[in-house]
Structure 1
Amino acid sequence: MTNLITESSSNIVNELLDDIKENIIQISDNFDQIQLNTVKPINITNLLEKKLLQNNERKDESNNLLSSSSSNGSNLESSESPLPLILMNKQIELIHPLEHQWSFWYLKNQQGKDWQDNLMKLAAFGYVEEFWALFNHLRVASRLPPSCDYMLFKSSILPCWEDPQNSSGGRWVLYFSKPEQVYLNLDVCWLASMLALIGGQYAQDTNYVNGVVLSARKSCDRIALWTSVHHDQQLIYRIGRRMRELINIPRQTHILFELHNQDTITTSSLINRKKSTAGCNKVIYQL
């Protein structure tokens, strides 16, 4: 049953990503009128309580039928087996667990406050339906105020590079400068990035992908995919190419891999380092 639920969840995410990739270039400037939320928000607790109540009611009806039919000597074999199977299938259709538990964070950079004081955990979720319930209540990416961040990470990982699972890694960054915004839609790219992350769309490299961050800035917005390592060039490039494919990034737009911690840079990283148009001394790879 666990395998069935996992496959069902993965299929939903795959279908949504395919729809986004098909429309990412053609989306009009009036994005607010487009309904991306194809799954209605569902409160998981209320849903399960309602289902449990229905289950109990059906069991009571079944018991009444059993006692009534037994007294009349009826054959019950045909009516006993379908009910549990129907209930099981309905439960599988209603909720779709994700492979990992996820936490969604909000950061508002305010001068005079420590970074920890500016960081707020908005929600934690482990189901597809819970993600959509959260997403439907969030301000869209393009309306996020400057100097604010959205952060989506595995629940066991804090959204900071000092976390042990981030400290030796880096991030693939997609910059949304004014020229890029002509053919890249921030809202669509951010949604596609989150769906790819929670849906485990990085295949064998999923365990090396920790989270994704949206940073709203006056000069240039950006989406960054965080990894737990930086030294394995083949793995990092594979993740970057997969990110480009999932978000459908145009060929003329580069994505850059930046180190979280400059002290972790190695000799081999320096050899493979490419010149960056961003002018950041932490960039070691480019696609």
Structure 2
Amino acid sequence: MANNAGFLVQEIIVAPGEHPLQYKYTFWYSRRTPSRPASTHNYEQNIRQFGTVASVEQFWRIYSHIVRPGDLTGYSDFHLFKDGIKPMWEDEANKNGGKWIIRLRKGLASRFWENIILAMLGEQFMVGEEICGVVVSIRFQVGYSQSCSLM
């Protein structure tokens, strides 16, 4: 199947016996060079999709093989967004939205990231339909090097 940009898109289906999620979610990764000025064009070039999941089992198959946020280098981000929504403000689904930013002391991002994405996937937020995704960002700042955003 091809999308509207002409790229081939693999349909993600839930196999018999798997536990479906309410929404499909896509993992993204981005890393930028701090010396380069940030721009929408640069950001879009640096962001990479690396998996889409529709069931609990599919999620764990991907998640169990990715590097934990606490082990990432600076200026790196992991994103988990509802399928079809890019993790950028310019995406129509995000244009009128907001975000919560939680700054974490070094060493806490991996556990917090896992807890918050499991809560999002498990529909534990009362406003789950309004949440587009979660981002964990690794930055080097005095005392704080990691943050997690709920968009």
Q: Compute the TM-score of the two structures, normalised by the length of structure 1.
A: 0.43
| Cα-to-partner distance string for 1:91-138 (whole Å, 9 max, x where unaligned) | 4xx310101011100001133882111110011110100100111110
Taking the TM superposition and a 5 Å limit, the aligned residue runs for 1:129-168 are 129-168=57-96
Task: Compute the displacement of 1:206 (Å).
Answer: 1.0
Task: Compute the displacement of 1:177 (Å).
Answer: 3.5
RMSD of aligned C-alpha atoms? 2.1
Task: Compute the displacement of 1:148 (Å).
Answer: 0.5
Matched-pair identity in %: 30
Q: Structure 1 residue 209 and structure 2 residue 131: aligned?
A: yes
- Name the SS of the counterpart of 1:114 in structure 2: helix
- Name the SS of the counterpart of 1:105 in structure 2: strand
Match of 2:148 among 201, 223, 245: 223
The one-letter code of the counterpart of 1:125 is V
Partner Cα distance (1:143, 1:97) in 2: 30
Which residue of structure 1 aligns with residue 27 of structure 2? 104
Partner Cα distance (1:145, 1:196) in 2: 25
| Cα-to-partner distance string for 1:182-236 (whole Å, 9 max, x where unaligned) | xxx3211110111111111113x1111110000001112100000xxxxxxxxxx
Larger proportion of helix = 1
| Cα-to-partner distance string for 1:132-187 (whole Å, 9 max, x where unaligned) | 01111100111011100000000121100111211111111110135xx5xxx321
Partner Cα distance (2:84, 2:120) in 1: 15
- Name the SS of the counterpart of 2:22 in structure 1: strand
Partner Cα distance (2:129, 2:84) in 1: 12
Q: Compute the TM-score of the two structures, normalised by the length of structure 2.
A: 0.80
- Name the SS of the counterpart of 1:170 in structure 2: coil
Q: Structure 1 residue 169 and structure 2 residue 92: aligned?
A: no
Q: Structure 1 residue 194 and structure 2 residue 117: aligned?
A: yes
Q: Which consecutive unaligned segments of at least 5 residues does structure 2 have? A: 1-11
Structure 1 runs of 4+ aligned residues shifted over 2 Å read: 110-113
Partner Cα distance (1:162, 1:177) in 2: 30
Partner Cα distance (2:96, 2:44) in 1: 21
Larger radius of gyration: 1
In the alignment of these two chains, the number of paired residues is 132
| Cα-to-partner distance string for 1:63-90 (whole Å, 9 max, x where unaligned) | xxxxxxxxxxxxxxxxxxxxxxxxxxxx
Partner Cα distance (2:76, 2:54) in 1: 25
Which residue of structure 2 aligns with residue 126 of structure 1? 54
Taking the TM superposition and a 5 Å limit, the aligned residue runs for 1:43-58 are none
Partner Cα distance (1:188, 1:114) in 2: 29
Partner Cα distance (1:206, 1:115) in 2: 26
Partner Cα distance (1:140, 1:98) in 2: 22
- Name the SS of the counterpart of 2:57 in structure 1: helix
- Name the SS of the counterpart of 2:140 in structure 1: coil
Taking the TM superposition and a 5 Å limit, the aligned residue runs for 1:1-287 are 91=16, 94-110=17-33, 111=36, 114-177=42-105, 185-203=108-126, 205-219=127-141, 220-226=145-151
Specify which structure has the bigger relative contact order, considering alpha-carbon pairs within 8 angstroms and separated by 6 or more residues: 2
Q: Which consecutive unaligned segments of at least 5 residues does structure 1 have? A: 1-43, 49-90, 227-287
| Cα-to-partner distance string for 1:221-268 (whole Å, 9 max, x where unaligned) | 100000xxxxxxxxxxxxxxxxxxxxxxxxxxxxxxxxxxxxxxxxxx
Q: Is the 8 A contact 2:28 2:48 kept in 1?
A: yes
